[in-house]
Amino acid sequence: MRIAVLGLGSVGYGLLSSIVDKHPNLTITGVADSKSAGINPDGIDITSLLAQKKETGICGDPSLTARDVVTHAPYDLLVEVTPTDAGTGEPAYGYIKEALSRGAHVVTSNKGPVALYYNELHELAQKNNVSFRYEATVAGAIPILHVMQHDLLGNTITALYGVLNGTCNYILTRMAEEGLTYTQALAEARELGYAEADPTYDVKGIDAGIKLVILANTIFQKNITLNDVSITGIDLLTDDALRLAEHQDCTIRLIGEIVPGTDLFRISPRIIPKNHPLVVKGTLNAITISTDMAGDLTFIGKGAGSIETASAILGDILYISQGKCMD
């Protein structure tokens, strides 16, 4: 399988490192970052490429671009791991459309194009008889989409509840356990690199809302946008609220909720008993799926991280390369 990779930041670098270590049979024929690109139909030496990226900050020839890779490199599968633009989905949306139109499979960790254009991209993939997979867009290393699309196919899913944002979960954990104020906990999260310099998307619940849109549209066949999700973030939460919850042996978590068959799509801080399976600590994510046959299933794991996200991407790549799917 010949693979082109767009984006060599945290996720792209982690992915290529794990391909070198564990799956050297995968051939990388194209790579690109924001300032350069490389194409080699016989396969790029990934170890040298990673060293070059580390030393110089660029992965290839500055006269080439990601678009050159998408349109000129020979590849069977495009991995799209450039930054998310939740407003336009670009540049990923354009890259993904082009690759699917050329008859290549696409795997992405980029929430923007999936949340905004899933139906169009899914139809384009079907029309060209290729796969479009995006496991890494929701809950990082937790293979939640695959479980619902394949392993639970015989079940009816009656509800889904999830802790979908590690930054918020870290802040809430620290407020509850150390008595920190929201501002103190956010400052700590920033220092540790868990929160962006501008944490708006995370703390206002927008990032979790985008993940809920992806789940609703791709798993529950809805056709919703972020405007259909009722969103309350954690930015206005007081330490008093957490203390009050503590008195009832409860705590607060930012919970995403989908109840199929209703129009309930909600992200909000919820008071839940401390022994509830969704009360995970630190930057962990957790998702509980209620089903008619299997009962309640809870999945807990890392929602972000270079290698953890690469795990989900690699799972999609290998699933496709083994010829197991065209969905």
Ligand X SMILES: NC(=O)c1ccc[n+]([C@@H]2O[C@H](COP(=O)([O-])OP(=O)(O)OC[C@H]3O[C@@H](n4cnc5c(N)ncnc54)[C@H](OP(=O)(O)O)[C@@H]3O)[C@@H](O)[C@H]2O)c1
Based on CB atoms, which residue is closest to ligand X, 3 or 304?
304
Closest distance of CB 321 from ligand X, Å: 21
- Least Å distance, CB 206 to ligand X, is 12
Residue among 91 and 315 whose Cβ is closer to ligand X: 91
Nearer to ligand X, 242 or 280 (CB): 280
CB of 153 to ligand X, least distance (A): 25
Question: What residue is closest to ligand X based on CB?
Answer: 9
218/118 Cα distance (integer angstroms): 7
Question: Dihedral sign, CA of 212, 261, 293, 272?
Answer: positive
51 touches 8 (CB < 8 A):
no
Contact 185, 282 (CB under 8 A): no
Question: What CA–CA distances, in Å, run from 110 to 96, 301, 302?
Answer: 10, 19, 17
Pairwise CA distance, residues 112 & 114, whole Å: 6
What minimum distance in Å lies between the beta carbon of 95 and ligand X? Answer: 7
CB of 81 to ligand X, least distance (A): 4
Token couple for 167: 């930054």
302 part of the active site: no
Give the active site residue among 53, 111, 211, 302: 211
Alpha helices in 73-205 (DSSP H): 92-101, 111-127, 144-146, 166-178, 182-191, 200-203
Q: Would you say 205 or 245 has its CB closer to ligand X?
A: 205
Residue 136: is it exposed, middle or buried by C-beta count within 10 angstroms (0-12/13-18/19+)?
Answer: buried
Least distance in Å: CB of 79 to ligand X? 10
DSSP 135: G
Q: Which is nearer to ligand X, 6 or 124 (CB)?
A: 6
Catalog residues that contact ligand X under the rule CB under 6 A. 6-12, 32-35, 66, 81-84, 91, 109-111, 136, 140, 304-305, 309
Taking the least distance from each CB to ligand X, the nearer of 34 and 230 is 34
- Which residues participate in catalysis according to the annotation? 211
